[in-house]
Amino acid sequence: MPWSTVRPYAAALAIMLLATVLAWLLQPYISLPNLVLLFVLAVVVVAFLFGRGPSILASVLASLAYGVLYVPWAYLYWADSGQYVLTGLLTIALSLFISHLTVRWRDVALESEARALELERLYQYTRELESERLRNSVLSALSHDLRTPLASMVGASSSLARSDTALTTEARQDLATLIYDESRRMQALVENLLDMARLESGPVVLQLDWQALEEIMGATLAQWRARLAPRQIHVQWPTEIPLLRFDPRLLERVFANLLENIGKYTPDDTCVNIQVTVDASSVHLIIEDDGPGLPGDPDLLFRKFCRGDNAAESTGAGLGLAICRSIMEAHSGRIVAESRQPHGARFIVTLPRSQDAELPPPDDDEDLV
C-alpha cells in the first residue's frame, strides 16, 4: 500500500495519541465527562485535515482511549458498566456525526475554492480574449481606416508638391480640402482609440464646470455643419436651459461622435432634427434623423467594436457610441438609441440637473462700478 494512502491514518493515530497524553495530564484538573470533549475536538481536527476514513478511525480510538484508560471497569457493577458502555457508544456516535459534518463542510469549502479558481481562470481567459480582440480591432482600424485617408493625403499632397503639374486654383483648393478632410478623419479615429484606452484604464477623472449646454452643442455643430451638408439640420432650443456641471471636452466628444455617425450612415437628403427638452430633474438632448434606421437591438451599438448592418460602407472601429456611453455614465447621465417609424434613428442624451445650479457671484470690482 503506498505511503500516500497510509499517511492520513498514521497522522490520525498520532493526533489521537497526543490527545490521550494531554487528557492524562489534565485528568487531575478536569472531570471525566469533560475529557470526552477533548477527544471529540481531536476527531474534528482529524476530519478537517484528512477526511472521512481517518476521522472514523479517530472516533473509534477516542472511545477506546476514554473507556480503557479512564473508566475503572474492575470496580464497577454491571449496571454502572452498562452506563459507561452507553457513554462510549454515544461518544463514538457523536464523534462520527461531528466528523461527518466537518468532512461535508470541508468538501463544500474545497469545492467552492475550486469553483472560485475555475471562475478566476475563466475570467482571465475572457480578459485575454477581449485583449486579443482589442488588439485585432485596433490593428484592423489602423491598417484599413488609417491607410485609406493616408493614401488620399499622399496622393493629394504629391500633386500639390509637383512643380511640373499645372493645376488651376480651384483644383489646388480641392486638393487642399481633401487633405484637410482626410486628416480630420484620421484625427477622429485616433482620438476615439485614445479615449477608449483612457476609459478602459480606470475611473474617468472629470473636469467639471458650470457650462451652458447650448454653447457646447452650438460650437460642435458649427464644426460639423459643412461636413454634414447637404443634409438639412433643424435646431430647436427652449427659451431657458439651466446651467449644468459637466466636462466640456468629453461632452463635446459625445456630440461629435453622434454627428459623425449621421454623416457616415445617412444619405445626403437626410433631415436632422436637434432639440433640447427640460424637466424637473434632467436635461435631454434629442438628435433625430430620417435615415435608414438602426438594427434590431439598438443597445448593441453601444458595445465596443460593434457596428451597424451598413457599416461596411464606411470607415471606423465601432468605438464611437461605446465612448459616448462611458462618458455619459461618468456624468451620472445616460444615452439611449431607438428606431423611428417608419424609418430613421433617435439618440437621446440625458444629463442630470443639479439643484444648487446658480450663476457665479459677480466680482466686487463690478459692484463698485
The pLDDT value given to residue 155: 85
Residue of higher predicted confidence among 129 and 348? 348
Q: Are 327 and 204 in contact (CB under 8 A)?
A: yes
265, with CB counted inside 10 A (0-12, 13-18, 19+), is buried
pLDDT in tens, 16-66: 888 888 888 877 787 766 777 777 778 778 877 777 778 777 777 877 776
Count of other CB atoms within 10 angstroms of residue 260:
20
pLDDT at 7: 82
| Nearest to 38, CA basis, from 91, 116, 100 | 91
> Which tens digits make up the pLDDT trace of 261-311?
898 888 888 999 999 999 989 999 999 999 888 877 888 888 776 655 554
pLDDT at 314 > cutoff 60: no
Domains along the chain with CATH numbers: 3-117 (no CATH), 146-201 (no CATH), 211-352 (3.30.565.10)
**Helix or strand or coil: residue 204?**
coil
Give the residue-averaged pLDDT of 86-113. 70
Q: Give dist(CA 59, CA 50) in Å, integer.
A: 13
Residue 64 burial by CB count (10 A; 0-12/13-18/19+): exposed, middle or buried? middle
C-alpha 22/C-alpha 30 separation (Å) is: 11
Residue 357 pLDDT:
45
Report the predicted TM-score, pTM, of the whole model to 2 decimal places.
0.53
Residue 201 has pLDDT above 70, yes or no: no
pLDDT at res. 78: 44
What is the per-residue pLDDT for 312? 47
Provide long-range contacts, Cβ within 8 A and 24+ apart, for 64-69: 65/16, 65/19, 65/20, 65/23, 65/39, 66/23, 66/35, 66/36, 66/39, 66/91, 69/20, 69/23, 69/24
244-274 tens-digit pLDDT: 999 888 899 899 889 988 988 888 889 999 9
> What backbone phi and psi angles, to 5 degrees, belong to 347?
-115, 130
| Cα separation, 214 vs 212, whole angstroms | 6
pLDDT in tens, 202-221: 666 788 889 899 899 999 99
8 A C-beta contact, residue 226 and residue 265: no
- Residues 105-164 pLDDT 10s: 777 777 778 788 877 877 776 666 666 666 666 666 566 667 777 888 888 888 888 766
179 CB contacts (<8 Å, ≥6 apart)? 152, 153, 156, 157
> Do residues 185 and 315 make contact, with C-beta atoms less than 8 angstroms apart?
yes
What local confidence, expressed as pLDDT, does residue 345 receive? Answer: 92
Q: Give mean pLDDT, residues 327-349.
A: 90
